[in-house]
Structure 1
């Protein structure tokens, strides 16, 4: 049952009670803020069925001065004691919130109070700026972001996420004899060359739908390699059945290509890496440009090993990381597969985009280019201009980059991508190991502070498993 307890306009308290416990508002909370207008706080609780109880507590005020005054009183009166004693399954908040905002994600009273005191001291020392809503760019990652067991928790506990996975599973059954939902439930091996990319695509689409349900709509989308398929779907270019068609045939063709090797080279100008690759007479390719000083190299195994040795001998400060890939993506190994994919995607059905999609083949490509079958063939072979696409996404606007992926990837390269800026764009994650909803809560809290109105009820964690 949803209960609203509202005192004078100075204080706005909202919560849900359950059958096992009811929350009453302490009198001192009522008396403490009766004379101050323009102040609200609310609490959102995660379901007790989850492995660890998490709460989001949100505060807002009309001005920094009112916010600080009421916030200080709240800390002194220790209202946190009953805030985090709620064993609710659906505590959430509704209604309008003021422009000066702070949100905290916590599991204990002590941790919450510690966070609040730290923030209060910071606000005293640094004048608080009221944030205007900032455009959000969805960034979808590619192969290498999967891990065994991902999605299982959200499928079991969030209806929106589960429904998205089930929609994809139904579409996928046109091509495979196995069940996507069953493989997620069984924590199937993501080393499988078909399941791995399909699982990443499914995870990303489900996360994107969950963010949209939360009220966070993208101003633009960017996809890294495989991630472009999910990006094209969320942008409205590829209907779900067509996106699944692209993912399946792309994955099947890649699984049948000649084996190769890939490495990540960091702290070395990509122009120098390209020059070094050219000496290997077509056996090596720069496959992905992460930043001006970081790139992936794909090609013949012996040639990749030789390049790694060459770099390590002369450049001791350079980092060379062997990537866990059995195929040389975006290299000459993909040339036959490129032709095969174009044939398989004959009569691909596309639609006009509802959201701007920035291509990682070239940011200059239009939606008409992306809608062509030829594009998805080139997408398999050509290098990924990830750095250029990310820069383009925030070149004309101050945007928040929201990673829609099983694990954060982009954040590690941000300083190098925006080497010419005094600060880098804010980058938030959606999921990381072990795959509960902490990343979602933390990122949603940050977006709330940037005056994006979050529909917290979409994050209520409820067991979605069918009864046996």
Structure 2
């Protein structure tokens, strides 16, 4: 109805922002730009019916399938006196400064300001998405044309025609309407015409039973919001439905003498009254002084909900997230809690520490573990809980059938021995690929991937170098050739400078070497059994100061991987994979053979997989190169057991690192939920509803108190004029120029 914001800039202040800052057409476009909304977008101006006409248009767009959700409503801001002057001269505004709808004292309307926005979806989509549904809605609109004169006069004929069209089209019985939210501006001409039109429709001779129904107007409470007036009335009705109350309409102590409320069966609520009916129906009128009319019918929506009783304990852990929902903004301060009962949730919240996420851009790195991380019974819980995880295991099983007679899926269900050299590595690979499929299902996708030893097979597949069938071929032949390799020993050493170990190993040249570099303080020595035993003995017999804090752990593996014991396996894998050629990676891929970002030939040739078997694993170097200094780096461990957490503090001293395991022994679902919660707390957004069989409704919570900084620009010349000072003379109109 008005475009006051564009007048806040004087001609002397015009610049390249003025066009986009003051155009009404850009107003809606700016919302689409900020939220990256790509469907139909428009600004609607039909004066006082604008917001309901916008909702009418949105419903048409939704029905046409042009979008799946619509954001619409209205806003009215009173920024300059110009519109007040024009409306006063037109004798539309109230001298008392009040909208006294339906009152004998009605003398015009009082301008109000505010904003009302609603989200619209097709009902089927809202149910599927687990949305909090307030009501269902039907709308209609028409125009007075030249049925009355002047054009600013209301047309009772067209108002009745609109009502007839809306109710007949929607198949709604007008007798079912409990409440009418009238346009009700408090103007001398408007209120009698509107109420008479409503009364003639709702007491039509074809409708036998006369029903008492409430009629009111929100304008008596908050003023006339003009372009936002319709949505203000709509939101009022929604709130009344939710709270099962009819709210009071003000100034109704002395009713308008030209309106026969008793004849039409209308009652104005002058106090707070109960709205006890289970299925509630109400309607909203919104008319414009140019003749564009809009009518809305709202029906309350009731769904079956399950209340959680105080003593109830869930059979499985549930995720509770604070500071964000699928349908709301996710804020910087977040917390995710896992609990199986209300008592457990309350206890955890008592000692909770809210984590403020880093403002740095998030970098998500998937780290695929290596040998020795499988455990008996792994994958069973996730296969039973998530079809996407189970489906990926079965898909790998179907490709594996070309090479083996046993079923990967069945052996995982049967708790098959993961120490079987032909089963453990393949099961680890399958677990890793299925975990990534599950994370992607939850909306988590990596920016970078890297793998340790056999983990590079799954990592290269996820990066797009190999198809799943090709990756299965690689992991199968890699497993076969290494199953033939025997002899030797591997020793994990922590808290000992790797440089000193390398010096110790010079006298064992050709017999032992560092097979895996975890960090500057941790590594794995691989080689002949007697050589590794002697190294272990030397470390244990060194001076107390030298061996302080050192931990030694013998790895239970059938051979010394990444040593001369795998020379033959290196040659054989290259022969088995001859002719295979991978694609370039889709995402950043780090090689643990070089410790650097993958080059063109890395991962995609048989030669690479030979070096993958034989060469030392530069795991620590690769992890270090995967992180970016200007990002907050989130390492997600992909595999049956975590391996990175033990050495992360040796690799990084900055506070821009987080490590999240995807799976732990005998704690698959709990670990997954905890990992999702940690990622959420660190600033990633999870598609929570896929965790459950059916969409979960979001729980209401208290509103946030935001920092309310003002950003409204008003030119200095206009600021002075609004204060009554002439811009060019700097004189107040009460003072003469001397």
TM-score, shorter chain, exceeding 0.5: yes
Contact 2:581 / 2:605 at 8 angstroms: preserved in 1? no
CA 1:398–1:97: 2 relative to 1, 3 Å: same
Residue 635 (structure 2) aligns with: 401
Return the alpha-carbon distance in structure 2 between the equivalents of residues 461 and 231 of structure 1.
30
Would you say the 8 A contact 2:364–2:447 is kept in 1? yes
Choose from 531, 543, 547 the match for 1:316.
547
Aligned counterpart for 2:583 among listed residues 344, 351, 355:
351
Question: Is 1:183–2:411 an aligned residue pair?
Answer: yes
User: Is 448-457 or 259-268 further displaced after alignment?
Assistant: 448-457
TM-score (normalizing by structure 1): 0.79
Aligned 1:185-334 pairs, distance under 5 A: 185-314=413-542, 315-317=546-548, 318-334=550-566
Match of 2:132, SS?
strand
Structure 1 partner of 2:306: 22
Is the aligned partner of 1:433 residue 2:433?
Answer: no
Pairwise CA distance, 1:243: 0.8
Which residue of structure 2 lines up, in the alignment, with residue 5 of structure 1?
Answer: 132
State the partner residue of 1:70: none
Per-residue deviation, 1:182? 0.6
Tell me if the contact between 1:210 and 1:458 (Cα under 8 Å) persists in the aligned partners. no
Measure the CA separation in 1 of the matches of 2:588 and 2:501: 32
Distance 2:676 2:588 in 1: 22
Matched, 1:377 2:610: yes
Is 2:380 the partner of 1:152? yes
Q: Is the 8 A contact 1:165 1:206 kept in 2?
A: yes
Q: How many Å separate the matches in 2 of 1:18 and 1:287?
A: 61
Asked whether 1:168 is paired with 2:396, we answer yes
Alignment match, 2:323: 60
**Distance apart, 1:94 and its partner CA:** 3.7
Of the candidates 87, 104, 120, which is equivalent to residue 337 of structure 2?
A: 104
Instruction: Say whether the 8 Å CA contact 1:263–1:321 is kept in structure 2.
Output: yes
Name which structure has the greater RCO, CA cutoff 8 Å, separation 6+.
1
After superposition, what is the alpha-carbon deviation per residue over 1:416-454, rounded to whole angstroms, capped at 9, x for unaligned?
A: 122xx2436100011101043111111111222233221
Matched-pair contact (CA < 8 Å) for 1:150–1:435: no
The change in CA–CA distance for 1:306 and 1:130 in structure 2 (over 3 A counts) is: closer
On the 8 A contact 1:133/1:452 being kept in 2, the answer is no
Q: Give distance in 2, aligned partners of 1:325 and 1:305.
A: 15
Q: Deviations over 1:136-191 (max 9, x none)?
A: 10000001110000001111221010011011101111111100011001010001
Query: What runs of 5+ residues in structure 1 fail to find an aligned partner?
Result: 26-44, 62-92, 463-468
Q: Supply the distance in 2 between the matched residues of 1:270 and 1:132 (Cα, whole angstroms).
A: 33
Any conservation in 2 of the 1:158–1:461 contact (CA below 8 Å)?
no
Give secondary structure in 2 for the equivalent of 1:403. strand
Cα distance in 1 between the residues matched to 2:654 and 2:399 = 46
Mapped pair 1:447 → 2:706: no
CA contact (8 A) 2:422 2:480 kept: yes
Q: Is 1:391 aligned to 2:518, yes or no? A: no
In the aligned structure 2, how far is the partner of 1:24 from the partner of 1:202? Answer: 37
Write out per-residue CA displacement over residues 217-237 of structure 1, whole angstroms, 9 at most, x where no aligned residue: 100001011101000000001
Q: Output the CA distance in 1 between the equivalents of 2:406 and 2:641.
A: 25
8 Å contact kept, 2:637–2:661: yes
- Asked if the contact 2:520–2:650 (Cα under 8 Å) also holds between the matched residues in 1, the reply is yes
Kept in 1: contact 2:580–2:606 (CA 8 A): yes
Asked if 2 retains the 8 angstrom alpha-carbon contact of 1:220 and 1:358, the reply is: yes
Preserved contact between residue 357 and residue 367 of structure 1 (Cα < 8 Å): no
Tell me if the contact between 1:132 and 1:451 (Cα under 8 Å) persists in the aligned partners: no
What SS does the corresponding residue of 1:412 show, helix, strand or coil? coil
CA contact (8 A) 2:370 2:452 kept: yes
Which residue in 2 is equivalent to 1:38?
none
Contact preservation (8 Å) 1:198, 1:251 = yes
Distance apart, 1:18 and its partner CA: 10
Alpha-carbon distance between aligned partners in 2 of 1:106 and 1:6, rounded to the nearest angstrom: 26
Alpha-carbon spacing, 1:142–1:18, altered in 2? closer, same or farther (3 Å):
farther
User: In structure 2, how many angstroms separate the alpha carbons of the residues matched to 1:286 and 1:305?
Assistant: 14
Which of 454, 457, 468 aligns to 2:689? It is 457
Relative to structure 1, is the Cα distance of residues 108 and 24 closer, same or farther in structure 2, using a 3 angstrom cutoff? closer
**CA distance change for structure 1 residues 200 and 109 in 2, over 3 Å: closer, same or farther?**
same
1:317-351 CA distance string (max 9 Å, x none): 22111111111000011111111100100111412
SS in 1 for 2:409: helix
Larger Rg: 2
Tell me how far 1:133 sits from its aligned partner. 5.5
CA contact (8 A) 2:464 2:586 kept: yes
Normalising by structure 2, we get a TM-score of: 0.51
| Contact 2:358 2:632 survives alignment (8 Å) | no
Residues paired across the two proteins, number: 395
1:364 is displaced (CA, Å) by 4.8
Distance 1:313 1:287 in 2: 23
Matched, 1:143 2:371: yes
Deviations 1:8-57 (A, max 9, x none): 89x9x9xxx998x62499xxxxxxxxxxxxxxxxxxx99x6xxx421111
Quickly say closer, same or farther: Cα 1:364–1:452, change in 2 above 3 A: closer
| Preserved CA contact (<8 Å) 2:421 2:483 | yes
The 8 Å contact of residues 426 and 475 in structure 2, kept in 1 or not, is answered as yes
